[in-house]
Amino acid sequence: MISTAGFSVMDRQEIFIFSSIGRKALMAVSGAFLGFFLFLHLLGNSATFWGAKAFISYAAGLHSLPVLVLLFEVVLLSFFAIHIVLAAVSFYENLRARPERYSCRKNAGGRTWGSRTMPYTGILILLFIIFHLLAFWGVKPVELAALVRHNLSRPLTALYYLISLTALTLHVSHGFWSLWQSLGLGLRHTDLLRKSSLIISITGGLLFSLIPLLCLLSADFLR
């Protein structure tokens, strides 16, 4: 038994989070938390539909709780980092196991657009978040409504948001499906769960997309 940093190789294999089941569970938990953030963010952003004043008072309310927001951001960032590292590890392992994977996959079935494009939509989402935070993070609440309107009424930025939100919808639709499977629900109500994953992700994607669309097309939006 080889011993490194206090763990033998045997121990390492037995540690839950290093096992493939452990990694799948962590992926599901971190993905679920990121989905929860998206739900809260969508809820907050829907204040834009009630006008600039409503959006600014929502943002001001949020900024009046700095400790809570900071705590949430730390947890969010940690889950985000875990999700990305685990995704990269499993992408790398899949690449290495490619010949065997193909021979299994022939009969496995169940591959969808969402599942096949997970790594690529994931990278698009990561790039989008960096771009998005550079534009909005740390801005004073009173300036946020005008800034959202200013940025998203530019055709190229609006188009970039719409493309990224399509990638997010695809990613989340498969993410939900994986989550149901990790919870052991995938085998019993396959069709219902597949459809519900699609409906939830498309509804969220469309609601987010309404914001750049309205910034682009309506002169009154967020005034």
Which residues in this chain contact ligand HEM in the complex, by CB under 6 A? Answer: 41, 45, 59, 62, 69, 73, 125, 129, 132-133, 136-137, 139, 144, 148, 161, 168, 208, 211-212
Nearer to ligand HEM, 60 or 192 (CB): 60
Element (H, E) at 54: helix 52-63
CB of residue 89 to ligand HEM, shortest distance in Å: 22
CB of residue 212 to ligand HEM, shortest distance in Å: 5
CB of residue 82 to ligand HEM, shortest distance in Å: 15
Beta strands 7-8; 3-4: pairing state: antiparallel
Nearer to ligand HEM, 52 or 193 (CB): 52
Question: Using CA atoms, how far apart are residues 36 and 42, in angstroms rounded to an integer?
Answer: 10
Contacts of 169 (CB under 8 A, 6+ apart): 201, 202, 204, 205
CB of residue 3 to ligand HEM, shortest distance in Å: 41
Nearer to ligand HEM, 90 or 166 (CB): 166
Nearer to ligand HEM, 168 or 198 (CB): 168
Q: Single out the residue of 138, 140, 119, 132 nearest to residue 165, CA to CA.
A: 132
CA 17 to chain centre: 21
DSSP state of 3: E
Question: Using CA atoms, how far apart are residues 87 and 91, in angstroms rounded to an integer?
Answer: 6
CB of residue 214 to ligand HEM, shortest distance in Å: 10
Nearer to ligand HEM, 125 or 170 (CB): 125
3-state class (DSSP) for residue 4: strand
